[in-house]
Structure 1
């Protein structure tokens, strides 16, 4: 049995508590965020992904809002926003070993969305 639910070519972990009807909307929000805000990404380890974001204040606010809401339904994610040099904006995403496949899917989706913009 798969531990993911396919939703319109997307992945959703089974332990996500976001109501099924709201999942396509959240995926669309992530797609928009990937297309508009992400400038690059690095896979630092199997369990750690780093997005390089547009450094604008609106991007930071959008990232905080989206990651806060995502953490409330998928509690295994750990998100961290930082400005290492005061200008650039980084979003670190970490998952426990049991959810590496979810991080793999997140990378694939982000790359796919960025490649199609």
Structure 2
């Protein structure tokens, strides 16, 4: 798990089940923050689903980051759909991880 001051470090959405080494977690959060800077809209579809709309130009970055995140936090589901010049990135979690998605969504907004 992250340090006890995870919220101040921006790691409040990193769950205890994450297998990414603690020292690498702030780097991953920074990568997501970089992606989140391009979010055009964020819609909470339901408690376990978040849909982000980003420019199509960040598709490779978004897919790479989602792939790496899924390898250490396997409960995350990521789906992508191109819609013209934008990309819809849908993030899902099981009900047991809604609090993680809540924090993830807060950072994306």
User: Normalized against structure 2, the TM-score is what?
Assistant: 0.89
Partner SS for 2:79? strand
User: Any stretches of 5+ residues in structure 1 without a counterpart?
Assistant: 112-117
SS of 1:9 mapped into structure 2? coil
The residue that corresponds to 1:50 in the other structure is 51
Tell me the equivalent position of 2:98: 100
Structure 2, unpaired ranges of 5+: none
1:109, distance to aligned residue in structure 2 (A): 1.2
TM-score (structure 1 length as normaliser):
0.83
> Could you say what the CA RMSD is over the residues aligned between the two structures, in angstroms?
1.6
**CA–CA separation in structure 2 for the residues paired with 1:92 and 1:70:** 14
- Structure 1 consecutive aligned stretches of length 4 or more whose deviation exceeds 4 Å: none
Q: May I ask how many residue pairs the two structures share in their alignment?
A: 104
